[in-house]
Every structure is written in structure tokens, then in C-alpha cells.
């Protein structure tokens, strides 16, 4: 893979900046001929990953780096923050249950990402977190 097939984006952790990343992902996915539904799924996965970093990373530099890697039949994106890390086996936030037993308000981000994407890998430590996500094209 050459640098010609990569896009590198850095965004500050400001409100709604996740949309900048999602729009970039959308343009790349469209260029790669992903279908409309898949492009929306990619956007949502990017948004949820960015929001998780905004809310929980406590990043020192207050920014996120997103690397998009275009391959033949898949788009990989790696979203990195320089925060304090988290335990990937547990949810970022304690699920807040409502009066309905199966209807909780928060803590859905990672589950949404895993449902919509083909591969999700999280590398986390005290120097930061990288979430690597792969979405494959379907015919």
C-alpha cells in the first residue's frame, strides 16, 4: 500500500468536528464505490468512534488523528487519540438503564460500530487508544 492510497486527517476535539471526519470518510467511500447504505454505516462508525474519544480519552493534545487506508475491496480507518486509554473489555460508560429493562440510553457506541463494521480492533494503553475499523464492500 502506497501513500497514494492513504488519507490522513487530524481534527481537534471540538463539538461537531466528528462530522468533518465522517464527511471525509463519506467522500472516500463514495470514491471507492461503496453503496449508499454502506457509506452511511461508515459515517456512523466514524462519528461514534470520535465521540467516544471526545468524551472519554482525556487526551493531552485534545485532538484525534484519523488514517484512511483504501484497499481493493475494503476501507480501513484508524482513529487514534493520545488519551489515558480504557479497558476494552468493559464499556466506556456505565449503561444507564431506564424503566424499560432493555432500553438504555448511553454506552451504545462500541456496539453500534461492531454491528455495522466487518472488523474492529482496539489497542489501548496509558499513552492513548487506536481503534482500527474495516468495512468491506458488498455487491
Cβ neighbours, 10 Å, residue 44: 18
- The residue among 1 and 15 lying less far from other proteins, judged by its C-beta, is 15
Under the binding rule (CB under 8 A), the answer on residue 102 touching other proteins is yes
The answer to whether 49 touches 113, Cβ cutoff 8 Å, is: yes
Phi, psi of 6 (to 5 degrees): -120, 145
Q: Per the structure block, which three cell numbers stand in for 129?
A: 487508544
Under the binding rule (CB under 8 A), the answer on residue 82 touching other proteins is no
Judged by CB under 8 A, the residue of 5, 6, 71, 106 near other proteins is 106
Map the footprint of other proteins across residues 30-69, applying CB under 8 A: 37, 40-41, 43-44, 47-48, 51
Q: What is the CA radius of gyration of the chain?
A: 15
- The residue among 6 and 75 lying less far from other proteins, judged by its C-beta, is 75
Measured distance CA(64)–CA(95) in Å, rounded = 25
Q: Which residues bind other proteins (CB under 8 A)?
A: 15-16, 18-19, 22, 37, 40-41, 43-44, 47-48, 51, 98-100, 102-106, 108-109, 111-112, 115-116
Amino acid at each position: 500500500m502506497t501513500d497514494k492510497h492513504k488519507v490522513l486527517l487530524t481534527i481537534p476535539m471540538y463539538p461537531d468536528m466528528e462530522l468533518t471526519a465522517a464527511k471525509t470518510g463519506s467522500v472516500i467511500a463514495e470514491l471507492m464505490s461503496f453503496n449508499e447504505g454502506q457509506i452511511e454505516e461508515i459515517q456512523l462508525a466514524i462519528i461514534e468512534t470520535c465521540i467516544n474519544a471526545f468524551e472519554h480519552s482525556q487526551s493531552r493534545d485534545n485532538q484525534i488523528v484519523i488514517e484512511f487506508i483504501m484497499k481493493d475491496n475494503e476501507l480501513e480507518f484508524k482513529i487514534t487519540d493520545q488519551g489515558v486509554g480504557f479497558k476494552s473489555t468493559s464499556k466506556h460508560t456505565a449503561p444507564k438503564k431506564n424503566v424499560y429493562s432493555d432500553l438504555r440510553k448511553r454506552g451504545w457506541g462500541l456496539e453500534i460500530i461492531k454491528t455495522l463494521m466487518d472488523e474492529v480492533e482496539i489497542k489501548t494503553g496509558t499513552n492513548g487508544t487506536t481503534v482500527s475499523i474495516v468495512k468491506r464492500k458488498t455487491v
